[in-house]
Amino acid sequence: MIYAGVDVGGMSIKCCLATEQGEILVKDSFKTKDGITSAEMGESIARFLKELASRIGVAEKEIRAVGIGTPGTVDGKKGVIVYSNNIKLEHAPIVQDVRKHLDCPVFVENDANAAALGEALFGAAKGLSNVLLVTLGTGVGTGIVANGEMITGVGGAGAEGGHIMLKMGGERCTCGNRGCFEAYASASALLRQTARMVARRPDSLLASLWKEKGESGIVPFDAAKAGDKAGLKVIKDYVSYVAQGLASLANIFRPDVVLIGGGISNQGDYFIKKVSRKMNALLYGAGVNPKVKVLAAALKNDAGLYGALALAIKGERL
């Protein structure tokens, strides 16, 4: 059986065809047109999937279902992108618009929610029913799978774990509020924290690397690994912020595993183990209740595609 996955982004739309076991047979992408409408996107996705099917000799009728992961608020039950600031779409009936050109079931969800489902079906949480995925990037994206089902909330506006409050009246978040998890634990926040330390400690190795390598999230990790006190302080504080937010979420959902995605997860055990120790120390019933595993997400750059595939496969089975 063949399934299609579509990962919608502000710059490009990635598409793939794959087996039910998650073996990607073909994948490619096309540029996201500026000001694209839902009707244009639906037609473009359908046409591109047909082209991919033709490349590998698959008939259109062999595509059992299409899954679409997209940023923003998504009402999966209605098949509508309610709001996406990245693609400038509001109340976009994307499922209906794809179905005009493809005769198969189509499903859509927020990309972070779908990615969590993808990790549960194909990735680091394969076979597990309770999964918390947190992606540390420009913001903090979260996807939650509880008892095998995505938590999306009313109108698809839920599972926004990046906007739980860490500090009342704290740093301004891009959402407009203050003190959000995202304002302290995103990769963008790490850059701000590093810049502040560089200003305070211009004589440090951290400051030297910041100037030499550019303003990158890798710099504080490199400085910390080299034993630089300024770098160690930045990473210690950042780990604490990440662990505090994860502990709050884990206390509510008590997942089988917490997965960390985004570029920072590439720091591997150096980062993941620190976060795991701190988070588990903060959990309710620490020392009595079982610990919660913390792992790096496995699907990396294809997380969006696998998430979309998981939507298609799970949706078609229902």
Give backbone dihedrals phi and psi of 81, rounded to 5 degrees, phi first: -85, 105
Do the domains 131-297 and 2-123+301-317 match in fold? yes
> For position 86, what pLDDT does the model report?
76
Residues of the chain predicted below pLDDT 70: 318
What is the architecture, at CATH level 2, of domain 131-297?
2-Layer Sandwich (3.30)
Q: What's the pTM?
A: 0.90
Question: Which residue, chain included where needed, has tokens 């903090």?
Answer: 140
**How far is Cα 255 from Cα 96, in angstroms, rounded to an integer?**
34
Q: Which CATH superfamily is domain 2-123+301-317 in?
A: ATPase, nucleotide binding domain (3.30.420.40)
Element (H, E) at 62: none
**Tokens (6 digits) for 110:** 């927020």
CB neighbours of 184 closer than 8 A, spacing ≥ 6?
Answer: 166, 167, 170, 171, 241, 245
> For position 238, what pLDDT does the model report?
98
Burial (CB count within 10 angstroms: exposed 0-12, middle 13-18, buried 19+), residue 237: middle
CB 94 within 8 A of CB 79: yes
CB 22 within 8 A of CB 122: yes
In the chain, DSSP assigns E strands to 2-8, 12-19, 24-31, 63-70, 73-75, 80-84, 89-92, 106-110, 131-136, 140-146, 149-150, 257-261, 293-296
Per-domain boundaries in the chain:
2-123+301-317, 131-297
**How far is Cα 88 from Cα 127, in angstroms, rounded to an integer?**
36
> For position 317, what pLDDT does the model report?
81
Span 281-307, pLDDT tens digits: 999 999 999 999 999 999 998 999 999
Treating both helix axes as pointing N-terminal to C-terminal, what angle do 229-253 and 269-282 enclose, rounded to 10 degrees? 50
How many secondary structure helices (H) and strands (E) does the chain include?
Answer: 10, 13
Span 208-261, pLDDT tens digits: 999 999 999 999 999 999 999 999 999 999 999 999 999 999 999 999 999 999
Cα–Cα separations (whole angstroms), residue 2 to 17, 122, 318: 7, 16, 16
